[in-house]
Each structure stands twice: as structure tokens, then as C-alpha cells.
Structure 1
Amino acid sequence: LAAKRELRPKRETLGHIAKIVLGEKKLDVDPSKIDEEWEKNPEKVINYCLKDAELALRILERIAVVEKAMDMATVSKLPLDDVLNGRTSTLIDSILIREADRKRIGVPCTKHVYGGERIIGGYVHSIQPGLYHWIIVMDFKSMYPSIIISNNICFTTLNPDGEIVSPTGARFIGKEKRKGLLPGILESLMNERDDVKKKMRETTEPEKINYYNGLQNAIKILMNAFYGVFASEFYRFTNPKIGGSITAFARENIKNVINMLSKEGISVIYSDTDSIFFQSPYENLKETVIFGGKISERFSEGGTILEFEKVLKAFFSHGKKKRYIGKIVWPKEDMLVRGYETRRTDAFDLQTETLTTIFDLVLNDKIDEAIKFSRQVITDIQNGKIPVEKLTISRTVRDESDYKMPSTQAGVQASKKLMKMGYDFVPGMKVSWIVTNSRVTPQTVEPYIDGREFNHAPDMGYYAERIALSVSRVTDVFGVDEKNLLTGTTQKTLFGAFEPKQGKKKKKPEKKELKITDFM
């Protein structure tokens, strides 16, 4: 369970997790024949059990589950067991209720359930499909906690006569008259985190550095969790006016920054909640970094900090919100992927590997190679040249009674077959399978078990179509849709070959200097 929460692996078997974390394999004993194995070779079964226990312990040590939980326990002032097994609201309660008690503020004994209108989330700027170059990414540091502090947002300050008016119309008393309980807690946590980070910088001992780094990260996680529980429908202090005001202030801030940048002639490519992507007027790293630093300084003042997060040499999206890729070249080289199947735990390995290669080619302006590679992978699938383990689909399977039509669920079908083979199944665990016939309803699937031979024929047509659908979200921007990938043809327009869509041309920024106070 700890590894499941920490790693979110595609497959949750000990063998698979041991392979990705430790690079090791578990010993092979067929659980359906464990009694026979014991009769024939008890030493083999003993070693099998010992190896399983050893691998489980070493995985926990490697991913540092207990250490991270201890850091969170220190910050939230809770026992380790409560952190490992409790909800986020339990951690928030521990801090908030203690402070409320000190301030003699009443706390509801039961959780409040809100069933009214939904809180509107953060602002997401529309994005045009295409390939862009030299993109600067800015991020508001601790946006929601900063908004709560600066606007004194709290259930203790919510008042129809308050002088602070949120974009939703809700009013809050200013901190000069009454400092809110929630802003006070967040301010203390911010100061505590700064102190811990200072101690981390001052020490040279590796153990202390690791300890302080874990502690400051735990504080950061807890601070950002406050908004989540206050905006939920089950927390004892839930109030839609509070959650709605926080996101409304955030939307207003981000929109104002976008408008100011646009007035300077800076092309804003995308924005999501607390981050902004805009095009540099320069086509080299050195000048782009200098330009990004100046923008960050101008839009940061007081408690509002617009951090210069990264530079993307190339950035691509097929035009859907929260779906994009980027080639990071500063402050370190890496690939940024959001929203595509490579980020999903239920994507099969071939899907992830194919998309990752295509992303790399596209971000390096090798469009023709990306399309050629896509078609080759699909051809290899159709010709049965793909290793079966790369076609494994894994999903969490609930209890059969939780489904309206369990007989139509591939996961339920696979779990039943898994149990017939002598393997344990517990509702809530991930089950792996391979589709063998998608032309019937429900489709036929067979369980896949790491380290065991798969004696069925995969439905290669199904997998070719799945890959074509995923890949076409990228290639369609360059004139090659799903059908073209499967048939090998190229899309044409009335006037000839399709020309790929490109990012907008960059405009030189005007010299007007802007500050955060311009839009506060």
C-alpha cells in the first residue's frame, strides 16, 4: 500500500515493483502449486518467502516511506500511524484545532457536508495547437497560501461588513481589526519553512541536509493542502465562500498578469492555475534567462512572488487544455509532459515508450522522423512483432458489487481468472491483463503475471488502434490523423500538402516597466 501511494506503479505486484525500484527479480514459485512445491523442495519455498520479505523491506527503505511520514508527523504533531493511515483533513485538524483552542475559538464537532454549487477552480488559458520555441515558464510561489494570508481569508473573518471584498462578493475583515486563524497558521508555517531551509543551507552534514530537506518539504505539502480541505464538501470548516474566494482571487491575479504581458507585446502561450507560459523575444538561452529574470523581479513584490521556473527550448500542444510537452533547457535539461498517456498508470508500456520517443523527436524539430516512427510501430504491432509484456494493461479493480454491470468490466473478468489460477485478489488492488479479442462484447482479456509465460494471442488490431489514437493527437497537428497512421496515407488539403501549424511569431516587448502593484 505504501509503495502504491508513493510510486503509483502500472502494476502493483511485488515482482514488478522490485524490478523498477531495485532492479531485481523475485523468486518464482507457482502459488497454485505451493503445497506440491513444499513437498518436493521445502528449501525452495523457504527461500521464496524470505526473498519476498526481504524485497518488501528494501523497497520501503528505498522509497523512504517511513522517513517522509515521520517528517509529516513532526509538522502536524500527530503519531506516525495517524499520518500513514489518516486523511489529509486529519493533519489539518491537528494544527487548526490546537490553534483554535489556544485562541478560544469554537470548533464544530461534526463534519459539515455542503451539497450546493461547485467552487470554480483556477484559470486555464486556452492554447493554440502547434510547436513553439523559447518559452519562459513562471509560477506564483505558494499561490493559495499567499492569497489566504494577504486577504485575511478565514472562517473567523468572513463577515458581511468586512472591508476586503473578494471577486465573488464575499467579504472578510481586515487583519488590522482581526487576524484570521487560518492566515496566522499559514504565516507561521511559512516562517518555519524559511528557518528550516536556512538551517539546511548552513550545514554540510549529509544526514542533517536530508533531514531538513524532508522537513521543509513536509511543511510545503501541508501548507498547500489547506485550500484542498477548505474547498472540499466533507471538511468540518467547509464554506464555499472561502474556497470560492481563494480561487477567484487567484484567477484575477493570473488574468491581470496575462493582460499586462500582452499589452507589452509578449505572447502568452498558455496558463494554468498558478503558472504562465510566454514566448521569449530572444532565440537563445542566455538572453532568454536574463529576460525571464527581469520579468520575475518586476512582477514580484511583498508576499506575492512570481518565480522564474524554467525555460523550454521547444513546447508543443495539440490544443487541449492541460495537455502539453516541453524540452526544458534551464535550469536543468529534462522533458516536461502533462496530460498525455505517458503520465497515466493504466497506459501500456508500448504506448508510453512510443509517445516518449515521438515527443523527443517533435521537440527536436524532427517531425518527419516522428511520423515515420509512428507508422513503423503500428506496422510492427499489426505484424505481431511486439513483445507481449509491452501490451499489458493494469487498472485498479474494485469489489464486483461496486459495478452496475460487472460482467462488462475487463478488470473483473481478469481478477476472476487470476483467482482461478491460484493467485490472491483483494478489491482495490491493480490487476494486469492483455486484450485477446476486442471484437466481442464484453472484450475478452487474459491475466498477465510477471515472470510467467503468456499462452494466448493478443488482439494486435486493438493495440494498433490504441497506439494510433494516442499518437494522432500529436501527428494530427502535422497533417497525419489516426486513419492515416493505420493506412499509411498522408492527409492533403485543397492546395497541396498539409503544412504544420507553428507557434505565433514573437513580438518585441515594449519598454514599459510593470510591477505587481499594477494589478493588485
Structure 2
Amino acid sequence: MPQAFLLTRQWRDTREGVVLDFWWATDNGPCWTQVTGQEVVFFIAREQAAQISALLRGLRDWRMADVELKTFRNQWVCALYFKQHRLARDAQTLLDQARICYWESDIRPTERYLMERFITAAADLESTDTRSPLINPRLVPVSEPLWRPALRMLSLDIETSMDATQLYSIGIWCEQAKIVLMVGEGQDTESVRFCSDERTCLEAFFVCIEQLDPDIVIGWNLVQFDLLVLEKLCQRLNISLRLGRAGQSIHWRHEEGDGGRSFVVIPGRVALDGIDLLKAANPRFETYALQHVAEELLGEGKLLSGSDRGGDITHLFHNDKLALAQYNLRDCELAWSIFTSQHLLEFAMERSQLTGLLLDRVGGSVAAFEYLYLPRLHRRGYIAPNLGELESDVFSPGGYVMSSRPGIYDNVLVLDFKSLYPSIMRSFLVDPCAFWIAQHQQLDEAHTAPGFNGASFAREGHILPQLIEQLSAARDRAKQHRNEPLSYAIKIIMNSFYGVLGSTGCRFFDPRISSSITLRGHDIIQRSRDWIEQQGYTVIYGDTDSLFVWLENNCLGHAPKSPQQCNSIGVRLARELNAWWQETLQQDYQLNSALEIQYETHYLRFLMPTIRGSELGTKKRYAGLIDVNGQREMIFKGLENVRTDWTQLAKQFQADLYRKVFDGEDYVEYVRTATTAVLAGERDDDLIYRKRLRRQLHEYQKNVPPHVQAARKYVQWTGERLRRGDWISYVMTINGPEPLGTYEVDWSLRQSPVDYQHYIDKQLTPVADSILHFLNKSLNELVDHQLSLFGADMPASR
């Protein structure tokens, strides 16, 4: 019985019924299976069965059957089966016209087939057929849950003219081959093959794909640029982009509107974009440009990195094709190295196996939740509601954020609840199905767990608590086996469950359910704070699932506690608070506690700043000094140091100033020196702002922020086009914001002198005063003499 991992899934109407096409990767190579004679199904209220039968009398190839399923309103339903998807759509149109409700009509045939068999990605194939495709094999969940095939990966990158209308070269990097297909005349080398024209280059590319036969095609901006450009080129040349296995055609879907994303299905192969996967697996980069990511992760970058890279590429194409080939191949190698070093393919596979999402699916938290939840809901005797059906006027608040106590502190501990919201769902049995069961069976308090806003949850028949418990155990096993991709994928899925239930984009959204999670979180944080303060310590801040505990509040006249003493207190507080919650939940609710608070961090020194212009403490913004194996390290949360819309000047200034204050060093001279350097024009390279365009330029009307002003000047001055999602680098001048380029900085674009006073007022002053405030100082007070000296004769900027 071969084991198989799902690559692609498609369906199509035929006269004999719906056909499901699945491509799998196995240890023996790719495998194509077909499931024939399938029906499309959705559900209607049983009480309307006679009316609907009369309404659909004119349609053919459909049937109705009673099923042991109910709606969330406790109505029995019937199932309608159709031989073709097109016929099902015709029936839905008639029902819509008659204003008759129906359910689960949006579940694709391939997804329903797999999810009802509890197959996410890996499966066992039972078939004696040796043909390709295998017809109607029996599919069951894989018998070895940790089995994964070795997928063949190929890195792809193309080079084109600046307007992407002329193909220059196609780079391929994989274990079997490292080659560039170059348009033009030349002598072939080991790594470069010359092709007389674009058509010949594409045909050679198709041959390479067929011979190398990758399961996975990777790249950087692969779908939105490389494959899309190749598709348009093929259309112009009147040929097909032959990338699918067994001669199957690829399929495109394009979002409407300028700047909309494009999606591609390649039968038997998966196109994975490094940008999308890295954002999902490691969302911490200021920009996901290949140059930036490669330099940070690999310590190396592209072979061309100037401000006019497009022009440089065209110059190489006309004058040095071998150098262009090296550049092209290097980009393929960088993408490959990032994928392998960050285990991106492994992450995608684990996420797919956990959720049923296809390997190339971007986002999809709601889809993943429903894929896991629906088949289990059906086993409980219910069908899913439609989107927006669970309406309620109840307000569901967000996480609890405690008012902070601003100041500079010695010895602050962070106690953090591990996966608080999933733990609440496990402990208090929060679950849509359990909510319906409690209502429909009118269960009393002895048979329910309490929620908020009138909600209660049946102690028997719930789904989510068991799912989360299974995932939590799987994550613990993944950690034991040091399977980081699996561990991280499980963490993302578990933490998404609340977000899904609290999202109006999910069919199970009900504020009574989501508020039973968030309000329980409020209660847990507040009661935990009270317990800690009963132990003699002060909680200076709390945020959703974390508590910040100051240990020195009752130690006036005594030396601060040692790191060893603080760690001992942290371990004890976590242990005893967990025991207290276990006892409390058992005593108050007769429930087993899955809550687990952990001692996370010891801050040697800690700053909780005030809101600017106020004495009130901030929320979600703080900084602290920790010790990591004898090395002191600064941690910033929500402050300028970690925000992408602040300059490198402000980030470095904040890191240095805070460290000096925390370490008790002289900070006055540092502030003065840093300010003087800015006014003297010595820090120009650190004055650059970078910001992404969230909309099209013409959509900014009433409020035109500085980066948009700079972007409009860039378009006017250079003639280049900018789209939604592009980055713009700019500097503030005496004539307002002026551009320095997009991904690469080009100071020659600037036309006016730099406004250095802007950087003193808007970058250094807010950063400095946020900590100097607690020392009864201010930046203006410390540097007033320098400001007056430079005010009369500002330096010339480059």
C-alpha cells in the first residue's frame, strides 16, 4: 500500500459525474489518481423538501435523501445530490430566487471528498491498478503520521527587460542541474545554453521541466512575476505554458482590480513563493526583497545591487551574457539556500498535513479551521451555518490590557500563559457545537461549562477542546524530536483558532462564543494578578496573556535581588500559580485546568514609558535589559527601535541611550554628540525613511502622508511606475519629503537640502524624552547650546 503526499487537487464535470483529479508524491515518484462518478451535495431544510422538489422538477440528474443531520437552529435537513456541479449551481439559482435557504454549497468536491475521509495531505493508496492515472483507489489517512516523502525541488528565476516584455534568460537550480537558458547567440558552456530566440528558449525550458520533473518549483516573487511573465510571453507567441505533469494545462485565477494577486495551479507540481512562505514561517523582516533577506539570513546577496539594476541587467544582456547568466543563477541559488536554511518546504508540508491546506495556500486560517471542523461536526449530527448566519448584538472584546505603571525598574519578571486562548477553549470546553448542544438539549449547570453573555457549553459532544489537546500533544512530541517546522506550524494553527472564531469572515463566528474566550482571559489575568500581589509583589503591567512582576516593591533600604534569587522566585510563582488554577477550576467548576503559566523572562532593568504628553503609562510598549549567558541584551517591544517607520538614526540612538541609562553610564555627553553629528551632516545615511504604499498612488486624496508625497515626486522625476505594495525610500528636506529610490537608495535623486531640525524634533527628541523624563531631564535641556550654534549656520547637505 503506497504512501502518498498530496500536491494538487482539481475537479471537473463530465457526463458520468464529477471527476476528482489528485496528484501525489510518493517514495516511488509522482502518482496521479482519479475518482470518478462523484456527486455535488448541499443541504436544505427537511420541512421544505416537498416545496423544493416541486421547484427543481425541471432539472435532471439530481436526487434528495434524508440524513441524520441538523442545523444550528435544531432543524432536520435533507441532502441534495447532483451529478454535475453546473446542475447544482442551476438549483441554487432557483432556490435563491425563491428565497429558500441552503447550506454548505461552497464546499469544493475535492475538499469534501478528502475532509470526510480525514485526509489532510498524507494518505495511503489502496489499489491493484497499475495504470496512470489510478482510477478510484481507496484513500485512507496515512498509517504512519510522521512519514514525509522527499520532494524534488527546482529553483526558478527569469531575467527580462525593464518592462518585462522581452525575455532575456531563464535560470534553473536544483540538485540535478544548474543551468541558464540564454536568449541570443553565443558558445554554450557547462552552465549556459544559448537559444536563438524567445520561443526556442521557452521550448528548451519545457524540456528541462519535463526531464528534471520537479514536485516543487520555488522562486522569489515566483507567481506574481516569473510565471505570470512567462504566461504572457507564451500567449504572445501562441504557445501554452507547459509546466503540468502528463501534458495537463496549468490554470490561472486573477483577482480583480489593479494590483490584484494572481494564482496558478500546475497539475502535479506546486509553485511555492519564498516571500509568502517566509512571511508565514518567519514574519520578522523589514522588507522581503531577496537582497535584504539573503544578506540577513545567508550573509551574501545578489551580484548586482545598484540603484539601476534593471538598466544594468539590460546592459549585460547586450554586452556580457555570461555575466548575466551568473547573476541569474545566483538569484536561483539564493532562493534555494533560503528555502533550505529556513526549512520552508518542511514548514509548508507540516502545515498542509495539519490543516488540509494545499502547499501553496497563502493565509487560509478560516479555510484550515473549517477543513478540520466540518467532518467532525457532521459526526456530531450537525451541518455548518452559512457565513453571517450566527448574528448577535453581543460585543466581543479583545484581549485584556492592564493599565501600566510607568517608570524605570530593577528586576521585573514576565510570567506568560502558554497558548492562553487555546488553553481556555480546552479548560472551559468552548466550542460552537458544544454551545448548540447545550441550547438544544437545555442542559443544566451540572452538564455544562460556563461561558459569558449567556453562553454555556456541553460537557459531552464538544470538538475543539479535543482537537487542541491532540495538537498540543503533537507539538510536545515535535519538540522532543526537535522538529522545529512541525512545532511552529502547530503553534500557528492552535493560536489561529480563536482568531477564526472571532472573525466575521468565518461561518462559525458568534460573539457569544468568542467573548467566552476573551472575557475568560480577562478574568484569568486579573485573578492571576491578584494572586501574585497577595504573595507580596507588584504587577506593573499585564497584556492579554502576560504579567510583568516587579520584585523590589517592598525592598526599600535593601540591595536589589540577585539574578539567581529572581529566577528562583519566577520558577516558584509559576509553579504555585499553576497549582492554584488547577485547584480553583476543579473547586469552582469541576473542570480540569489546561492553563499553564510559564516563567519567561527576567529583566535586570525595565522601562515602562508614558504616553507622550501625559503621565499615564503606555500599553504594548516597553524596553528592558536581560542577561543571555553572561551577555547583556536590550529588548524592545513596540518602541521606535522595532518599528519600520522610524529611521535607523532613531533606532540606534534609542538602543545606545537606553543601554547607557540602564547601565548607569554617562548619557549626557552621548546625547550631545549624537545631536551634533546629525546637525553636522555626519549621519545622512541613517536619516532615510522607508515605507510601503498600501494603496495605489491616485487613491490618496484628502490625507497625503509624506511617503506618498515622496512617491509621487519619484514617479514625476523618473517616469517609473509605482504600485500598491511597493516600497519608497525618502528623506525629509526643507522642501518636504523627497525620494531616494524604491528598494535601492540613490542620493542623486534628492533636489533640496536635508531638514536636519526635523530629525532632531521628530526622531531624537521623542526617543530621548521617553526615558529622560524619568530622570527629570529632556533633550532640549541637554543640547540647547548645540542647537543655538547650528541654528545660525546649518551645514550643507550632500
TM range (shorter): 0.7 to 0.9
Tell whether the 8 Å contact from 1:197 to 1:216 is kept in structure 2 after alignment: yes
Secondary structure at 2:602 match in 1: strand
Is the 8 Å Cα contact of residues 429 and 449 (structure 2) preserved in structure 1?
A: no
Structure 1 position 411 matched with structure 2 position 693 = no
Moved more, 315-324 or 467-476: 467-476
Per-residue deviation, 1:324: 0.9
Conserved? CA contact 1:414–1:446, under 8 Å: no
The answer on whether the counterparts of 1:11 and 1:432 sit within 8 Å (CA) in structure 2 is no
**Is residue 291 from structure 1 mapped to residue 573 from structure 2 by the alignment?**
no
Tell me which amino acid in the other structure corresponds to 1:73.
S
* Aligned twin of 1:172: 456
* Alignment partner of 1:227 out of 498, 512, 522: 498
Q: How does 1:401-440 map to 2 (within 5 A)?
A: 401-405=698-702, 409-411=706-708, 413-414=710-711, 417=714, 421=718, 425-437=722-734, 440=736
Q: 1:86-124 CA deviation, whole Å, 9 max, x = no partner?
A: 422122222112322333321124455869565212222
More helix by share: 1
Displacement of 1:330 after TM fit? 6.7
Structure 2 equivalent of residue 506 of structure 1: none
1:310 counterpart (589, 597, 601): 601
Instruction: Give 3-state SS (helix, strand or coil) of 1:147's partner.
Output: helix
**Is 2:655 the counterpart of 1:356?**
yes
- Counterpart CA distance in 2 for 1:342 and 1:150 is 38
The CA distance in 2 between the partners of 1:36 and 1:305, in whole Å, is 61
Post-superposition offset of 1:405? 3.9
1:45 aligns with 2:324: yes
For residue 547 of structure 2, the aligned residue among 276, 279, 286 is 276
Contact 2:726 2:742 in 1 (8 A): no
Pair 1:81 & 2:379 matched: no
Write the distance in 2 (CA, Å) between the matches of 1:392 and 1:11: 14
**Residues 256 and 7 (structure 1), Cα distance of their counterparts in 2 relative to 1, 3 Å cut:** closer
What's the offset of the Cα at 1:354?
1.4
The unaligned stretches of length 5 or more in structure 1 are 201-208, 491-520
Aligned to 1:123: 400
CA shift at 1:19, angstroms? 2.4
Distance 1:407 1:303 in 2: 49
Q: CA deviation at 1:231?
A: 1.1
- Greater relative CO (CA pairs within 8 A, separation 6+): 1
For 1:327, what is the secondary structure of its paired residue? strand
CA distance in 1, matches of 2:698, 2:395: 29
Q: What is the CA distance between 1:139 and its match in structure 2?
A: 1.1
Deviation string for 1:320-364 (max 9, x for gaps)?
111111122378854321110112122222221111112222322
Match of 1:346 in 2: 645
Which of these two proteins has the greater Rg computed from alpha carbons?
2
Q: CA deviation at 1:256?
A: 1.0
Contact 2:475-2:490 at 8 Å conserved across structures: yes
1:372 to 1:323, Cα distance in 2 relative to 1, 3 A? farther
Aligned to 1:335: 634
Q: Assess, with a 3 A threshold, how the Cα gap between structure 1 residues 57 and 266 changes in structure 2: closer, same or farther.
A: same
Q: Are residues 165 and 489 of structure 1, via their aligned partners in 2, closer, same or farther at CA, if it must alter by over 3 Å? A: farther
Alpha-carbon distance between aligned partners in 2 of 1:52 and 1:418, rounded to the nearest angstrom: 27
Tell me the distance in 2 between the aligned counterparts of 1:113 and 1:365.
57
Correspondence for 2:679: 382
Checking the alignment, whether the CA contact within 8 Å between 1:436 and 1:445 is kept in structure 2 is no
Distance across 2 between alignment mates of 1:54 and 1:80: 21
Partner Cα separation in structure 1 for residue 628 and residue 518 of structure 2: 30
2:427 to 144, 147, 150: 150
**C-alpha contact 2:416 2:545 (8 A) present in aligned 1:** yes
Distance 1:86 1:320, change over 3 A: closer
Query: What is the CA-CA distance between 1:418 and the residue it aligns to?
Result: 5.6
C-alpha distance in structure 2 between counterparts of 1:193 and 1:489, whole Å: 57
The SS at the match of 1:125 is: coil
Aligned residue number for residue 620 of structure 2: 322
Shift of 1:188: 1.9
Equivalent position of 2:690 in the other structure: 394
Partner SS state of residue 467, structure 2: helix
Matched position secondary structure for 1:124: coil
Paired with 1:377 and 1:132, the residues of 2 have a C-alpha distance of 26
- Would the alpha carbon gap of residues 81 and 415 (structure 1) be closer, same or farther in structure 2, given more than 3 Å must change? farther
Which residue is equivalent to 2:80? Answer: none
Tell me which residue corresponds to 2:86: none
Partner of 1:494: none
Contact 2:411–2:604 (8 Å) recurs in 1:
yes
User: Gapped runs of 5+ residues in structure 2?
Assistant: 1-274, 553-559, 583-592, 610-616, 788-798
Does 50-59 or 157-166 show the bigger shift? 157-166
Matched letter for residue 311 of structure 1: H
Name 1:503's counterpart in structure 2.
none
Aligned-residue offset at 1:454: 3.9
The superposition leaves residues 118-165 of structure 1 with CA deviations (integer Å, 9 ceiling, x where unpaired) of 521222222222211112211112211111111111112224655257
- Is the alpha carbon distance of 1:360 and 1:146 closer, same or farther for their aligned partners in structure 2, counting shifts above 3 Å? same
**1:33, distance to aligned residue in structure 2 (A):** 6.1
Q: How far did residue 4 of structure 1 move?
A: 5.3
Cα distance, 1:228 vs. partner?
0.8
> Which secondary structure state, in structure 2, belongs to the residue aligned with residue 127 of structure 1?
coil
Q: Call closer, same or farther: CA 1:404–1:65 in 2, change over 3 Å.
A: farther
Q: Summarize the Cα distance change of 1:16–1:454 in structure 2 as closer, same or farther, 3 Å threshold.
A: farther
1:179-218 to 2 correspondences below 5 Å: 179-198=461-480, 200=481, 209=482, 212-218=483-489
Aligned AA for 1:252? Answer: D
Distance 2:319 2:628 in 1: 60
TM-score of the superposed pair, with normalisation by structure 2? 0.54
**How many residues are paired up?**
469
Confirm whether residue 248 of structure 1 aligns to residue 545 of structure 2.
Answer: no
Q: Which deviates more, 10-19 or 122-131? A: 10-19
Q: For 1:283, what is the secondary structure of its paired residue?
A: coil
* Inter-partner Cα distance in structure 1 for 2:396 and 2:430: 16
Shift of 1:484: 3.0
CA RMSD of aligned residues (A): 3.0
Q: Kindly state the Cα deviation for residue 455 of structure 1 after the two structures are TM-superposed.
A: 5.3
Listed as ranges, the matches of 1:67-106 within 5 Å are 67-82=346-361, 85-106=362-383
- State how far apart, in whole Å, the 1-side matches of 2:490 and 2:759 are: 44
Check conservation: 1:124, 1:272, Cα contact below 8 A.
Answer: yes
Aligned mates of 2:384, 2:508 — CA distance in 1: 8
Separation in structure 2 between the aligned mates of residue 53 and residue 170 of structure 1, nearest angstrom: 57
Q: CA deviation at 1:246?
A: 0.7
* Equivalent residue letter for 1:287: Q
Cα deviation per residue 1:19-77 (whole Å; 9 max; x = unaligned)? 22222242336324654553344444333333333333333333333222222112113
Contact 1:170/1:245, CA 8 A, preserved across alignment: no
| Other structure's SS at 1:144 match | helix
- Structure 1 residues 123 and 356, CA gap change in structure 2 (3 angstroms): same
Q: Per the alignment, do residues 425 and 55 of structure 1 end up closer, same or farther by CA in structure 2, a change over 3 Å counting?
A: farther
Give me the TM-score of the superposition, normalised by structure 1.
0.81
Q: Could you tell me which of 291, 298, 306 is aligned with 1:22?
A: 298
Aligned match of 1:515: none
After superposition, give the CA deviation of every residue in 1:274-321 in whole Å (9 maximum; x if it has no partner): 111112356112222222222111111342222111211111111311
Find the residue that maps to 2:732 and give its secondary structure: strand
Structure 1 or 2: larger strand share? 2
Distance change >3 Å, CA 7–CA 258, structure 1 → 2: closer
Measure the CA separation in 2 of the matches of 1:360 and 1:248: 38
2:450–2:457 contact (8 Å) kept in structure 1: no
